[in-house]
Structure 1
Amino acid sequence: MFDTATRLGFGTYSLTGDEGSAVVETAIDTGYRHVDTARLYENEREVGDAIAAAGIDRDDLFVATKVAHFEEPEKTPEYVREAVTDSFDRLGLDRIDLLYHHWPKNQDEIETVLPLLAEYVEDGRVDNLGVSNYTTDDLDLARDLVDVPIAANQVEMHPLLQQTEMREYLDEMDAQLVAYSPLAQGEVFSEGAINSVAEKHGVSEAVVSLAWLLSKENVAAIPRSSSIEHLKDNFGAIDLELDDEDVERIDGIERTHRCEDPSWMTW
């Protein structure tokens, strides 16, 4: 699903209004070809405006959005279908590359939402079905519910939360992991192993952390930044090739840190 151009995407959480749209347009101009948004972010229209303004051929851009987060209203079929219709309208697109079930509160929501989203893949309006913050038990259920392949699970992943078990599970089902909070909301900047690799290559800790994620097979990353300087710096991860020693050093980090950890989740 993801190729070299799209494995490093751009997250858009909290990028709203004209300023948010301008940041997303700059990200596309910088070279990002995978843009990630969500109904919950309330910025799909801004993302759509940025896509239109950037003038990139539609086939060269990978657009992902998400619906049915646990904070959204009750997940009736009517609500889910209206949410997807709204996403198409706000993005200004007639095709979405990847449509995620954003974050279920429980498996009852999965049973309601996922088959409805699969219908959009079956009718050709969505290219790939994704899920987000699914546990392995949730993925077991999902595979029984729908015939459409689960293309990706978007979860928190970074050098301080390496998601080894989840990556192995997704490899087995021929799906990909999309890493949100790939810089652990700044926590990676003070990690010694990352500091030393960054110094060795003369790059930022952000670039090292993103390059480490991209060194993992079937992993994509979606860093988010409102800073033009930082989003351009982050894009340098595409060109940084870590050697085996670098990767092993970061693999060896024993600290475990979660940025997103609701008390009710059964990670």
Structure 2
Amino acid sequence: MPGTAVPWACSVCSSSRPCCCRSWGWHWPSPSSCPRWCSPAWPPVTSAAPVGSGSRRPRWSRPLSGGRWRPCWGAPLTATVPALTALGVLPALWVAHVRTRAWRWWGVWGRSALACVALFALTLGGGLLATEAGLVPQYEPPKLTTTELTGVWHGTDGAELRLRPGGRAEAGRLPAEPADEDWRRRDYVTCEGSGTWEPDADADNAGRDGVLVRLDGDCGEDTHWSISGSEDAPELFVLFGDPDGGELRILKRTSG
């Protein structure tokens, strides 16, 4: 018999699916559709739907009725109640203690507030001084020569870019900037073929050198790949589409 909607609920427990609390408006399934139930420890409301034939108890009371019904996580009632009670003892005692204390500006709360402000200022000032003094090194992208850029670069989804000496390039499943009429529908296009490449010094004014790839034919526009990574493991990357939520594609060099 279908149950009624309640403002709290937990999903059905089974051997293959653990308990999982659901959002408001979940409808209880029929009692015959699952072996046991989950329930919060203190449900805020009750449901008038009967548990079974001839039963008048609300559904949320079924996990608390003993027998084969257990609360969440499969723990028995005799272990769940003491555990939840123990977790609430210390906070309750602390609140009761604090309520007996008279409020004074230079009491525990005032000293705590001033200590937090002082620690914040110390941390911020120390971080700025350490950065200016060079104690905290800042990241600098590697500076690669034309010879160091030459080689084979691979990315996800089979992307490949071969930068040949002399400025020739070969692309396989390489993402590229879409044409003007396509940029509203897609962040990038996937191209294959040959073209040219050349070093591109800080084209986006971000302090990074890069590589400008021009592919022959009608697939894609000129694409600037920025240099990142390290001297030992350089990378090329492009953020296609929206700068706040675009598609980041990275190429790693696999041969010189």
Q: TM-score range by the shorter chain?
A: under 0.3
TM-score between the two structures when normalised by the length of structure 1: 0.18
TM-score between the two structures when normalised by the length of structure 2: 0.19
Between structures 1 and 2, the one with greater strand share: 2
Between structures 1 and 2, the one with greater helix share: 1
Structure with bigger RCO (C-alpha 8 Å, 6+ apart)? 1
